[in-house]
Structure 1
Amino acid sequence: MQLRKTFVVGLISVALLSGCSLFSGEEDVVTMSPLPKVENQFQPTEVWNRSVGNGTGEIYSNLRPAWQDNKVFAADRHGIVKAIDADSGKEIWTASLAEKTSFFRPNRSALLSGGLSVDGGHVYVGSELAKVFALNTEDGTVAWETQVAGEAVSTPVASDGVVLVHTSNGMLQALDQTNGVVKWTVNLDVPPLSLRGESSPTAAFGAAIVGGDNGRVSAVLINQGQLVWQQRISQPSGATEIDRLSDVNTTPVVNNNVVYAMAYNGNLAALDLRSGQIIWKREIGSVNDLIVDGSRLYLVDQDDRIVALDTQGGVTLWRQSELLHRNLTSPVLYNGYIVAGDSEGYLHWINTEDGRFVAQQKVDSSGLLSKPVVASDKLLVQAKNGEVYAFTR
């Protein structure tokens, strides 16, 4: 069954956001939980906000800011990229990656889609037009742009002199960090039907660890493009095509020589970094990135429960279930709290010890989709309409 990824995630998004059923029968209806009432223990402070183009609208996108040397870099889908002073929120420079057309026609959208990343003197961003751009951090000029094997909807990752890009057709490519030349390509394979979005690779000990739409996690040598190991953590099962989705869209986390990865409709697994062998596995799925902090693992599951587990065996320590189907962002750890946004534009602050709410705030009525970003003492949040906010605790 060949369906476009955009269509699949559109079906799922409609069900989650509107409460409509994907199939017939009352049991399939999904309803967003009402906003929980929270007595704030503190009031997060908004330091500044800055508009960056028109944002992403209702299009599924991983666009989110990046941060380095007291500069915040953010972009909108059309192709506007801005550098912002992290302390004041003042604009440092603006660049446009939209393709210039004739005088009488508007510029063609760059369709930026992957989250921004920054390393050394370059900001990297990918697009649905199968391009990866490197911009100079000082002035926003384009250092290079490269045509890659498919839509670049994941976040580019710079490591070991290359920029790693995972494309929507299952290709992992390494681009030379100085000029963008493709150094190698590895085919990770994709099933006929999969979710919109791809796992961003994690670089560890000279290897790129990345999830695939086929339910596998792979380790590839960065210098050679050689596949070291591949481990399936999720097996397609269920009565419907959507039930059988087993994409590993989350970014793997490496901690103490253990790889933690999670599949949609599948499993959370801990793998040995050297061999890829499964150490333990739990039946819990998501497309949201997870957090590993010491002996604890925090995640948002596919029903928007926030869960804390022990890293040694995956034992559940606590579960927060009052945000079901609010379409949460991936969580981050900031100032000792778990923070996640939702599709109605709220930020939720949660105690790491017991999962209780400690604060809640309305940020932007357009809603939040992308993962918040920790920038030193600030928390950066980009709303769907392109507004970027900086908060402090």
Structure 2
Amino acid sequence: MELRKLLLPGLMSVTLLSGCSLFSGEEDVVKMSPLPTVENQFTPQQVWDTSVGDGTGDFYSNLHPAWQDNTLYAADRFGVVKALDASNGKEKWKVDLSEKTGFFSRNRSALLSGGLTVAGDKIYIGSERAQAYALNTGDGSIAWQTTVAGEALSRPVVSDGLVLIHTSNGILQGLDQNSGAVKWTVNLDMPALSLRGESAPSTAFGAAIVGGDNGRVSAVLMNQGQIIWQQRISQPSGATEIDRLSDVDTTPVIVNGVVYALAYNGNLTALDLRSGQILWKREIGSVRDLIVDGGRIFLVDQDDRVIGLSTDGGVTLWRQSDLLHRNLTSPVLYNGYLVVGDAEGYLHWMNTEDGRFVAQQKVDSSGFQSEPVVASDKLVIQAKDGTVHAITR
């Protein structure tokens, strides 16, 4: 059976929200909410900005920076990777992972995708060309490069001496952290049609917890690459193929022995870490990562409502609905506030107690697709055109 990756949510943002349509003469199905009027309680300050290559353009990508020891690592889709001083944005080193094709022609794009991950003295990143790279943090030189089972669309996860790569064809692989050698491969199964994106695993007690395009959450024993349990949190239903999409593309969150997972067209579900048994579920769908903090869950649903819930039964604490269909990023907690970016390049700051706006700022006209990153006292976000912005409260 042919497996197809549907360009969603990129499809929604590019074709529906931009004012274009899938077919000539077809009316737009979804319209972006107008920018809400916000009376700023404070003015976030931009400390610096710098360009990292050409960004991601109109391609759906979750490329975002990683931070360690006052150094920020960022990349563009073409293959440029830079190390930046987090204090001032100055370049420490730059490498280009694109392939040399000839003296007069442009290099072949590396098609870097997902986010960067930094662990110890290495940076890890995957590509749509089924390559996983480990770069040395000191100078960006390649420590190893491995061909994996398919497009590596999510960020690599490093745990227990392994680099975990989840590919677009439903394969989870464990690579040796030092050499890049493939230690094991697990097939998580694939439906005929799925969203363009994959869940990055979370790890705890020697197990990797990962979402699949089949609506299931799986626990995999990392030292052997064996599935411990699987639990379905989304059941395909509806009249159309899009209605029946049930991908779990978000990264599960593990807190106090409970796994919190979120599916598209599905449920926010709390699972027992040991058994996979469902503890409770709420009918909320999304492809964006969620936050669990202090007994509360913060998430952006698939219609771009920002929601605060209790970890005790998933009771809704508040709902912010003034950003509908603005193609929000995943949320991040920074200085006690909840922050999301949108497709028009705005950052929206919200009170975590009630979801009310406390600040809003236009940062980049090319817009945002990937979530902000907290780097010490700064909030860092990469725009679609490759510009990296550092902001403080």
Q: TM-score over 0.5 for the alignment? A: yes
Kindly indicate whether residue 374 of structure 2 is the aligned counterpart of residue 378 of structure 1.
no
Q: Tell me: CA distance 1:24–1:99, structure 2 relative to 1, closer, same or farther (3 Å).
A: closer
Hey, what's the Cα distance between the residues in 1 that align with 2:230 and 2:241?
A: 24
2:248: which partner in 1?
Answer: 248
> What's the C-alpha RMSD, in Å, of the aligned pairs?
1.6
* 2:168 matches 1:179: no
Give SS of 2:183's match.
strand
Paired residue total: 393
User: How far apart, CA to CA, are the structure 2 residues paired with 1:104 and 1:374?
Assistant: 41
How far the C-alpha of 1:13 sits from its partner, in A, is: 2.9
Q: 2:190 maps to what in 1?
A: 190
Alignment check: 8 A CA contact 2:207 2:222 kept: yes
Is contact 2:7–2:60 with CA below 8 Å preserved after alignment?
A: no
Mapping of 1:1-393 within 5 angstroms? Answer: 2=2, 4-7=4-7, 9-19=9-19, 29-393=29-393
Aligned-pair CA distance for 1:20: 5.3
How far residue 12 of structure 1 moved from its aligned partner, in angstroms, is: 2.6
Q: Which runs of 5+ in 2 are unaligned?
A: none
| Distance (whole Å) between structure 2 residues aligned to residue 19 and residue 193 of structure 1 | 25
CA contact (8 A) 1:380 1:388 kept: yes
Task: Name the CA shift for 1:63/1:322 in 2 (closer, same or farther; >3 Å).
Answer: same
Q: In the aligned structure 1, how far is the partner of 2:311 from the partner of 2:55?
A: 36
SS in 2 for 1:230: strand
Q: Is the 8 A contact 1:19 1:32 kept in 2?
A: no
My pick for the range that moved more, 23-32 or 194-203, is: 23-32
Any conservation in 1 of the 2:49–2:389 contact (CA below 8 Å)?
Answer: yes
2:303 & 2:368 partners in 1: Cα distance? Answer: 17
% identical equivalent positions: 75
State the alpha-carbon separation in 2 of the partners of residues 143 and 156 from structure 1.
Answer: 15
Distance 1:10 1:42, change over 3 A: closer
The answer (yes or no) to whether the contact 2:6–2:194 under 8 Å persists in 1 is: no
Q: Describe the shift of the 1:241–1:345 C-alpha distance in structure 2 as closer, same or farther (beyond 3 A).
A: same
Deviation (angstroms), 1:27: 9.4
Quickly say closer, same or farther: Cα 1:299–1:8, change in 2 above 3 A: closer
> Contact (CA 8 Å) 2:14, 2:58: kept in 1 or not?
no
- Decide whether the 8 Å contact of 1:19 with 1:29 is kept in 2: no
Q: For residue 14 of structure 2, give the secondary structure of its aligned residue in structure 1.
A: helix
Q: In structure 2, how many angstroms separate the alpha carbons of the residues matched to 1:27 and 1:267? A: 29
Deviation digits for residues 190-216 of structure 1 (CA, Å, limit 9, x no counterpart): 100000000000111111000000000
Deviation of 1:181 after TM superposition, in Å, equals 0.3
Pairwise CA distance, 1:222: 1.1
> What is the TM-score when the length of structure 2 is the normalising length?
0.97
1:16, distance to aligned residue in structure 2 (A): 3.8
Contact 2:185/2:225, CA 8 A, preserved across alignment: yes
For 1:218, the aligned partner's letter is S
How far is the alpha carbon of 1:351 from its aligned partner? 0.2
State the alpha-carbon separation in 2 of the partners of residues 239 and 20 from structure 1.
Answer: 24
- Secondary structure, aligned partner of 1:115: strand
Please list the CA deviations of residues 263-317 of structure 1 after superposition, one character each: whole Å capped at 9, or x if unmatched. 0011000000000000000000000000000110000000000000010101101
TM-superposed deviation, 1:71: 0.3
Letter in 2 for 1:278: I
TM-score, normalising length: structure 1: 0.97
CA distance in 1, matches of 2:12, 2:34: 19
Relative to structure 1, is the Cα distance of residues 245 and 24 closer, same or farther in structure 2, using a 3 angstrom cutoff? farther
State how far apart, in whole Å, the 2-side matches of 1:75 and 1:28 are: 34
Structure 1 letter corresponding to 2:30: V
Structure-2 separation of matches of 1:23 and 1:345: 27
CA contact (8 A) 1:328 1:341 kept: yes
